[in-house]
Each structure stands twice: as C-alpha cells, then as structure tokens.
Amino acid sequence: MLRSPDQLRRMHIFLPMVGIWAHLLFLQTAAQPCDPLTQYMKNGQCCQMCGPGTSMLMSSTCQEPECRICGDAEYQDKYTSEQKCQRQPYCDPNNNFRPPDNVLTKKTICMCKEGFHCSAEACITCVPHTPCNSGYGVKSEGNHLRDTVCEKCPKGTFSNEISLSGVCMKWTECGNGQRERQSGTDISDTICEETKRNHTLLISISVISAILVLVIAAVILCRKYGQRDARGNLKGCVESCIDEKVHLTGHKPITQPTDNEEEFMSPEMQSSQEESSLRTPVENEDEPSQEMSSDMGQRLTENGNFVTQENGKTYILSRQESQTHTVTD
C-alpha cells in the first residue's frame, strides 16, 4: 500500500516523539520504588540509609547497611548514607553558657545560664540580667534571649527593693480606727497608726475591767468571810472586809491581858499595865459633862448658857447657875 508524501512526512515527526515519551515513562517507573527519606539510589537500586544519631560504615551493603552511633559532641538529625556524624557547637562555660544536653539526634542550642541573656543576636556570649531599682517593678523577667524589662511604679504602688523579679505592690489601706501617719511613695508603703479615740477607748475599757475585777474580788471575799448578826441580816460588807484585812495582816485589837497572859508578862510590863489602869480621866470643870446635860434635858445657847424648861416655861441660865442647879439636883 503506497502512502502519500504527506503521510510519510507525518510519520517521521510522530515516531521520535513516541520514543521520548517511552523513555521518560521508563525513568519515572524505575524511580518510584525508592523512599526519599530512608533510601538512596545506587547502581539503579534503592539502598537503605542509617537512622538518626548514627553514621554509615564503608563496609555496608546496599540492603544491609552497617551503622555507627555518633560519639560525644556529635549528632545526626536525619537518615543518612554519610560515613561520619556532624559536630555539636561548643558552649563555652567561660562565656556564661550552661552545659549542653548533647542529644545525638539534634543539634544543640547553646543556652545562657540562669540570670544571663545573649549579648547579641548571634549569641556568642552571655551577659547578666539588669535588676530593677527601688521605685521600679519588673514588667517582664529576663530570659535566654532578652534582658529584664522594668517599669516605674504608678501612683498607689511601691517597690522598696532591687530585684530581678519583684513587681510594684499596692499601698496599704488604713482600716477602721486607724489614720494615715505617713503617705506612701514609689519606694515606701503607707504607715497607719491607731487613732487617739481608740487609745482612750482602750484605756477606759482597761480601767473598767480592773474595777470590775476588784468588785468581783471584794464580793467573793465578803461572801466568804462575812458573818450574820442575831437579827439575821448580813453585816456590812465593808466592815467584814476590814475585819478580814486586820486578821490577814496580823494586827490584833488592844485588849486586857488574861490571867494566863499575866503570868508570862515581865515585871516592867506589869507595872506599866497597873499605872495605866490607875489613871483616871481628868474632867474640865469649866465644861459640863454629857451626862449632866442629857439628864436635865438642857441645851446650850450660842453664848454657852444652858436653856432649861420647867412647867412649860423656858429659862436661860448662866454658866454658874446651871452648874449649881445641876449639882443640887
């Protein structure tokens, strides 16, 4: 079957394109079996890689690789066919870095010690955090990457210390019965004190309490030591308490010595006792006795004369007449 020149020309163009498509399809089909994470291509075969934290030895085969665990200060963070692990960065303690954890499966990040932060974005060395002075509070504490952030204590708050973590505290509010002795500042708290009224009230309560205690004690003593007279009435509390006080203090009333006591008295004491018993009170002759005035029913005037009554009549006697009248009666 003869073909026209146009048909032959189209066939020459189409056949090369079919060959290119077939070659691309073959390459795509050959690459599909390999896992890009755990396998690698070698001599047209998919070979196994060593896992994270290890490296591959030279004696490894394609399907059975020999892996070596990474050493100190080394790491491998993915599957690999490399024959050595990667070096960990060095965290110099002299630059205020803390000791690294040295995890085999990831790269170590050098961290500053507590109280320090990186001096620059590259974090080559660490510098201490800046503390907040008195009158300032910590807005945000420093960490590995940044310094402490301080803020001025607003009205009504204070801070009286230099601190890396202290915040501004509120002033103390004086309660009932208190007054403000000293106002708060940004570096000191409010000072409160009791009012004078409260002092007076406390003193009054103390005095009243003391009086009540004394009264209760007196009542207890009176009930304990008081006596009843023949009529059945309770003797005066004050009298009983006085008697009890005399009894407790050891003072005895003065009485005449008994016969037994006289035997033990010295001669000097006996003579003194006899002299005192022989003494008689001396009466003032110018002054009338109480017995005379009471017997006659007389009374004195402002001038010292006696007034007497007889048969319903009142007579004023002179001092001499009254004495004579009294003696004759």
Residue ranges covered by each domain of the chain = 34-87, 297-328
Distance (Å, rounded) from C-alpha 80 to C-alpha 135? 58
What pLDDT shows up at residue 287?
A: 46
Distance (Å, rounded) from C-alpha 9 to C-alpha 227? 157
With a cut of 50, say whether residue 56 has pLDDT above it: yes
What pLDDT shows up at residue 236?
A: 54
What pLDDT shows up at residue 195?
A: 80
With a cut of 70, say whether residue 266 has pLDDT above it: no
What pLDDT shows up at residue 243?
A: 59
- Strands (DSSP E) contained in the chain are 39-42, 45-48, 54-56, 67-69, 74-75, 86-87, 116-118, 126-128, 136-140, 149-152, 157-158, 169-170, 178-182, 191-194, 299-300, 306-310, 313-317
Residue pair 150/123 in contact (Cβ under 8 Å)? The answer is: no
Phi, psi at residue 45, to the nearest 5°?
Answer: -120, 155
Q: Which residue has the higher pLDDT, 145 or 313?
A: 145
The SS3 assignment for 48 reads: strand
| Mean pLDDT, range 252-262, rounded to an integer | 49
What pLDDT shows up at residue 44?
A: 86
Percent of the chain with pLDDT over 70: 56
Q: Which residue has the higher pLDDT, 305 or 53?
A: 53
In 3D, which of 148, 129, 145, 127 has the Cα closest to residue 137? Answer: 148
Residue pair 186/152 in contact (Cβ under 8 Å)? The answer is: yes
Which residues, other chains included, contact 133 with Cβ-Cβ below 8 Å and sequence gap of 6+? 150, 162
Percent of the chain with pLDDT over 90: 41
Burial of 174 (0-12, 13-18, 19+ CB in 10 A): middle
What pLDDT shows up at residue 53?
A: 96
Compute the 3-state secondary structure of the chain and give helix, strand, coil in percent, each to the nearest 5: 35, 20, 45
Under the banding of pLDDT at 50, 70 and 90, the label for residue 249 is very low
Say which range, 15-19, 77-81, 169-173, 291-295, has the weakest mean pLDDT: 291-295
Residue pair 39/46 in contact (Cβ under 8 Å)? The answer is: yes
Residue pair 151/159 in contact (Cβ under 8 Å)? The answer is: no
The SS3 assignment for 144 reads: coil
Residue pair 71/54 in contact (Cβ under 8 Å)? The answer is: no
CATH of 34-87, one of 3.30.360.10, 2.60.40.10, 2.10.50.10, 3.30.2320.50: 2.10.50.10
- 97-109 pLDDT, tens digit per residue, is 999 988 999 999 9
What pLDDT shows up at residue 318?
A: 52
Q: Which two tokens stand for residue 29?
A: 């089909």
Query: Average pLDDT, whole number, for the chain?
Result: 74
| Mean pLDDT, range 196-209, rounded to an integer | 74
With a cut of 50, say whether residue 283 has pLDDT above it: no
Under the banding of pLDDT at 50, 70 and 90, the label for residue 241 is low
What pLDDT shows up at residue 218?
A: 80
What pLDDT shows up at residue 26?
A: 53
| Mean pLDDT, range 133-151, rounded to an integer | 96
What pLDDT shows up at residue 291?
A: 43
- Strands (DSSP E) contained in 141-199 are 149-152, 157-158, 169-170, 178-182, 191-194
What pLDDT shows up at residue 25?
A: 56
| Mean pLDDT, range 230-242, rounded to an integer | 49
What residues are paired with 87 via a beta bridge?
74
112 CB-side CA count, 13 A? 22
With a cut of 60, say whether residue 45 has pLDDT above it: yes
What pLDDT shows up at residue 286?
A: 46
Tell me how crowded residue 50 is: count the other CB atoms within 10 A of its CB: 24
| Mean pLDDT, range 187-216, rounded to an integer | 82
With a cut of 90, say whether residue 79 has pLDDT above it: yes
Residue pair 109/123 in contact (Cβ under 8 Å)? The answer is: no
Distance (Å, rounded) from C-alpha 194 to C-alpha 207? 19
251 CB-side CA count, 13 A? 7
Question: What's the N-to-C CA distance of the chain in angstroms?
Answer: 206
What pLDDT shows up at residue 24?
A: 58
